[in-house]
Structure 1
Amino acid sequence: MAHRAQPVAAGLAAAALILALAFGTLGAVAWRAEGFGALAPADWAAIRFTVLQAVLSATLSCILAIPVARALARRNFWGRGLLITLLGAPFLLPVIVAVLGLLAVFGRSGLISEGLTWAGLDPLDIYGLPGVVLAHVFLNLPLATRLVLQGWLSIPAERFRLAAALGFTPADTRRVLEAPMLRTVLPGIFAVILLICMTSFAVVLTLGGGPKAATVELAIYQAFRLEFDLARAAKLALVQFALCGAAAGLAFAVSSPAGMGAGLDRAVARWDSATRHARLADGFWLGGATLFLLVPLGMIVAQGLAGLTDLPASIYAAAGRSLVTALGSAALTVGLALPMAMAACRLGPRLGGAVQAAGTVSIAASPLVMGTGLFILLFPVADPVALALPVTALVNAAMALPFALRALATAVAEIEAGYGKLADSLGMSGGIRLRLVLLPRLRRPLGFSLGLSAALSMGDLGVIALFADSSQATLPLQLYRLMAAYRMEAAAGAALLLLCLSLGVFWIFDRGGRAYAEA
């Protein structure tokens, strides 16, 4: 039927575009490499450091998330909901802003170093591996905590009631109930964070501290931007794609559903946590995690307010370019995700699953790999620098697509299950079906998807670092240049401006979607 073919065709076209972007750029990189050849010792060092810092960061994030998530799961206190909400903030926080906040606390001139100097000790030096791991834990500990917390909350209250009736000690509860849950959820969480850390460019660019702390993505940037050695950049891009593909495959392979069964949705009462020792331990972990996450954010605000008066005019121009790019990226993200979600619903589990898999393939494709491939493709026919902002918006949209697609695909499937047959019987198809049936009920996930993709694009320091000159720089790139020039007061003001813009665009879109949905 024609009305069924329309969303399917649009969704397949969107999936084909993403596949072409991911594998077409990879093919261009492979073609430009002119044979894989031997990697230099510096390239092997970058590969080893990439894997080392990612493994350390993912391991520490998961280990620290366990006691924090346990404390949140078994304690009910004033502000608990707000704390859980704040745990989602670092995911929207621009990486370059997070780095500046960490430097304000842990850097050579930070709060801790000032205290050490006052005590007659040497200041901290977080550049290199320690700084990279610290920043990754700061950014990913909240994500790991939220995911582990979901695992804890998935254990039905009846299991804990039965454990109490059987006289389980806290050690028995950990062994029989909590350990099996952790064995189920932790491998997938570890693999996801491993992938995130492998593709973290801005952290290593600002905190790497030298050639010994260079990841593959930083080596791509140096080969491309500083040396203009496209062949080396292409070879490294292939290596990065292979690493990310392996990490993404691991994430999908080890993901498994929870096996605790269903309960009666009763509130969980934790008799095993009533001891003084348990209360002190939970307070320690919650207090420590709160300080670790909120003190750098507070320093960003405090120093940024003082630095707002020192901002050059170029910062505001860069902020405007960032905002335009973010809005374009958000529109592209939803423009791709919505038809793919509709096509996945129409095509059924097998073919629809293939469409959704095509939408998530960008997880394995590093932004710098895509950027390198697009530069190679555009260079013979156009000036890539002149197209820096559109290319950045396109790549950012591809990287945000998996999150938007997951939110929209579930919502579209629920709407079609509830209203699809009625819409078919009324002959509603095409734009009418979209306008009257889907869009009014998709405002929540659409608002969330637009806000998330816009916020992620606002704070991105990846592809734009490859392409842009001084006239095309976005706010994150200008912020990095201020930091490199040791203009830290102006950098703090720019960081606060970037933080407000990133959180602001997310709030406007997300709140707008929820407001219309409640009308």
Structure 2
Amino acid sequence: MYTTREQAVITGAGGLALGFILLFAGLSTAMLLLNAEGGAGGTLFDAYLFRVVRFTLLQAGLSTLLSVVLAIPVARALARRRHFLGRIWIVRLAALPLGLPALVAALGIVEIWGRQGIVNRLLAQLGLADPVSVYGLAGILIAHVFFNLPLAVRLMLAGLERIPAEYWLTSANLGMRPATVFRLIEWPVIRGLLPGIAGLIFMLCATSFTIVLTLGGGPAATTIEVAIYQALRFDFDPPRAVLLAVLQIVLTGTLLVLMQKLGTPAEEAPTTGRAVRRFDGGDGRALDALVIAAFAAFTAAPLLAIVVSGLGADLPRLVADPLLHRALLTSLAIALGSAALCLAITIPAVAVPRLATLHPGSSFRLLGTGLGGASSLILLVPPVVMATGWFLVLRQFGATARFAPFIVVVVNALMALPFVVRVLAPAYRTHLSRSGRLAVSLGVTGWHRIRWIDLPALKRPLLTAFAFAMALSLGDLGAVAIFGADGFITLPWLLFSRMGTYRVADAAGIALLLGLVCLLLTLPSTVAEPKTREAHV
């Protein structure tokens, strides 16, 4: 598959990538631990800290429960109705929230569920005086379900569509009723997927920052990451921020261990490969249509609200605003840099584990294991926590403003790394199995192999991974929120500041522009039915 020289180059690149990740994360974590030892110690463990931890777990648990429970009937309805007009667009609609910045989605949710939103206006017409409050726990749950319900639906639907055609033929021959079909065929598949799906959603909700910061509504609805931000930006209490950051690392580490223990892959049932045809489509047609329509309305409403409110803003004035130009250029520069760095790390992170499978028992295995763990490091040390460590490092030298963009570039690159690895790894394995031995036997190696064999075959997944990494960086507020200042402004930070000063029209216009840019970057992959975050399960 590789010549000896190619193996040396790949190993060297993998070692550099692993060393860079460990050095960057290690310095951040070391600074957190050093400041924790020099802080106020046990006096920081007060009622506020326990209240923050309790709310973090509460909102994550409720969000996970709602997302998973509501996803089951939607996934079953879509699996039963395989050929209705517009089904493919419903499935693609479920992918759009994955590429939408959390801050933009929060603004759309406020337009629908806010005090002056559509839902409360309808309730007022029905004579209900008390409006639905979108701030606090209710708003956080709505936003998390908006993001994670479509994710759970796609993962469950993929599992249900893998059920062999023979199962449905047998169920029809036996005359199974819908309840029996669910109990004997569908539920075993869903039950096998539930631990992984629930663990993934719980992790995403427990480390949620932008949604809680925007819709939390006050100290009573604060998670650990938001408390870190408040401790640095408002109270300037580094010891408390450090203690919260260490607590967040412990929490995410525990969640990752539980996900690995619970997330057992489902076994594929044997099949002859015949086309799937379900025979239970005649039952419950109206109920399935109602479930699918409700899901489509819940998912599409905030997206449409963003478009409508954004078009109602003074877009010509916003487009001519020099501050918007500076924020856009800063965001694009950071996104391009983080996407390029992410790909530079991802390529050896994908290639070295493949070498380990070809040469078991060698040093490749140890390096591949290290790169595999480092690729998911950002799940253990979230962006806000990592940025906090580097904020404390740079603060020692009085250079936080000067080096903030470079730190944000690296943090965003590491944030996108788990997703990009899972986009490139399957394509790389397939390509190598098809062309690796042939290229070596023909003597096509080195740069010629990259130019004439590797790049043409991997061009599309590389571009998809690059665009996805750019979109994630463009919409991220976590690291920027720690360093954000007058001289360092990105589009999400500008949008957040406009929302904070109640300049709703400007915020709507900026949200529309930011959302369009991110969706344009991720749209080709959603149309191509990507696996997106499925690989986390």
TM-score under structure 1 normalisation? 0.94
User: Is residue 115 from structure 1 mapped to residue 122 from structure 2 by the alignment?
Assistant: yes
Distance 2:261 2:181 in 1: 28
User: Is residue 340 from structure 1 mapped to residue 356 from structure 2 by the alignment?
Assistant: no
Match of 1:265 in 2: 273
User: Is residue 416 from structure 1 mapped to residue 416 from structure 2 by the alignment?
Assistant: no
Q: How many residues align?
A: 511
Query: Which of 92, 96, 112 is matched with 1:89 structurally?
Result: 96
Post-superposition offset of 1:421: 1.8
Post-superposition offset of 1:303: 0.8
Question: Aligned ranges for residues 101-250 of structure 1 at < 5 Å?
Answer: 101-120=108-127, 121-250=129-258
State the one-letter code of the partner of 2:114: G
User: Is residue 485 from structure 1 mapped to residue 501 from structure 2 by the alignment?
Assistant: yes
**Larger displacement relative to structure 2 (135-144 or 165-174):** 165-174
User: Is residue 464 from structure 1 mapped to residue 480 from structure 2 by the alignment?
Assistant: yes
Contact between 1:29 and 1:238, CA under 8 Å: does it hold in 2? Answer: yes
User: Is residue 72 from structure 1 mapped to residue 78 from structure 2 by the alignment?
Assistant: yes
Query: Which of 44, 58, 61 is matched with 2:50 structurally?
Result: 44
Distance 1:376 1:429 in 2: 46
Match of 2:7 in 1: 4
Q: 1:60 to 1:27 in 2, by over 3 A?
A: same
Contact between 2:383 and 2:415, CA under 8 Å: does it hold in 1? Answer: yes
Distance 1:41 1:81 in 2: 50
Query: Which of 15, 19, 38 is matched with 2:18 structurally?
Result: 15
Distance 2:397 2:352 in 1: 34
Contact between 2:112 and 2:305, CA under 8 Å: does it hold in 1? Answer: yes
State the one-letter code of the partner of 1:288: A
Q: 1:24 to 1:221 in 2, by over 3 A?
A: same
Distance 2:125 2:495 in 1: 30
Distance 1:227 1:93 in 2: 31
Post-superposition offset of 1:304: 0.2
Question: Aligned ranges for residues 480-519 of structure 1 at < 5 Å?
Answer: 480-507=496-523
State the one-letter code of the partner of 1:25: S
User: Is residue 297 from structure 1 mapped to residue 313 from structure 2 by the alignment?
Assistant: no
Contact between 2:400 and 2:483, CA under 8 Å: does it hold in 1? Answer: yes
Residue 280 of structure 2 aligns to a residue in which SS? Answer: helix
Match of 2:37 in 1: 34
**Larger displacement relative to structure 2 (414-423 or 183-192):** 414-423
Post-superposition offset of 1:2: 2.2
Post-superposition offset of 1:202: 0.6
Distance 1:140 1:239 in 2: 25
Post-superposition offset of 1:443: 1.1
Distance 2:510 2:297 in 1: 24
User: Is residue 251 from structure 1 mapped to residue 259 from structure 2 by the alignment?
Assistant: yes
Post-superposition offset of 1:354: 4.1
**Larger displacement relative to structure 2 (203-212 or 169-178):** 169-178
Post-superposition offset of 1:355: 2.5
Distance 1:105 1:247 in 2: 33
User: Is residue 323 from structure 1 mapped to residue 332 from structure 2 by the alignment?
Assistant: yes
Q: 1:507 to 1:180 in 2, by over 3 A?
A: closer
Distance 2:198 2:416 in 1: 20
State the one-letter code of the partner of 2:7: R
Contact between 2:92 and 2:527, CA under 8 Å: does it hold in 1? Answer: no
Distance 1:387 1:18 in 2: 18
Residue 266 of structure 1 aligns to a residue in which SS? Answer: coil
Post-superposition offset of 1:381: 3.4
Contact between 2:18 and 2:370, CA under 8 Å: does it hold in 1? Answer: no
Residue 387 of structure 1 aligns to a residue in which SS? Answer: helix
Q: 1:173 to 1:508 in 2, by over 3 A?
A: closer
Post-superposition offset of 1:310: 5.0
Distance 2:151 2:280 in 1: 26
Post-superposition offset of 1:431: 3.0
State the one-letter code of the partner of 1:331: A
Contact between 2:92 and 2:526, CA under 8 Å: does it hold in 1? Answer: no
Flag structure 2 segments of 5+ consecutive residues without an equivalent: 531-537
Contact between 1:345 and 1:409, CA under 8 Å: does it hold in 2? Answer: no
Distance 1:487 1:264 in 2: 60
Distance 2:304 2:339 in 1: 28
Match of 1:392 in 2: 408
Q: Superposition RMSD on alpha carbons, in Å? A: 2.0
**Larger displacement relative to structure 2 (311-320 or 427-436):** 427-436
State the one-letter code of the partner of 2:432: E
Post-superposition offset of 1:34: 1.2
The C-alpha deviation readout for 1:207-237, integer Å capped at 9, x for no partner, is 1011110000010001111111111111100
State the one-letter code of the partner of 1:84: V
The C-alpha deviation readout for 1:301-355, integer Å capped at 9, x for no partner, is 0110111245243223212211111111111111110121112212226443442
Q: Which 4+ residue blocks in structure 1 deviate beyond 4 angstroms?
A: 507-512
State the one-letter code of the partner of 1:319: L
Distance 1:511 1:13 in 2: 35
Post-superposition offset of 1:253: 1.8
Distance 1:443 1:2 in 2: 24
Match of 1:60 in 2: 66
Distance 1:404 1:419 in 2: 22
Match of 2:107 in 1: 100
Distance 2:330 2:263 in 1: 39
Contact between 1:106 and 1:113, CA under 8 Å: does it hold in 2? Answer: yes
Residue 7 of structure 1 aligns to a residue in which SS? Answer: helix
Flag structure 1 segments of 5+ consecutive residues without an equivalent: 515-519
Distance 1:464 1:89 in 2: 24
Post-superposition offset of 1:22: 3.1
Post-superposition offset of 1:509: 9.1
Q: 1:310 to 1:119 in 2, by over 3 A?
A: farther
Post-superposition offset of 1:507: 4.5
Q: 1:285 to 1:147 in 2, by over 3 A?
A: same
Match of 1:517 in 2: none
Contact between 1:58 and 1:193, CA under 8 Å: does it hold in 2? Answer: yes
State the one-letter code of the partner of 1:240: Q
Distance 1:353 1:418 in 2: 24
Distance 1:67 1:511 in 2: 24
The C-alpha deviation readout for 1:444-495, integer Å capped at 9, x for no partner, is 2111111111111111111101102122111111111111111111111010
Percent identical across equivalent pairs?
41
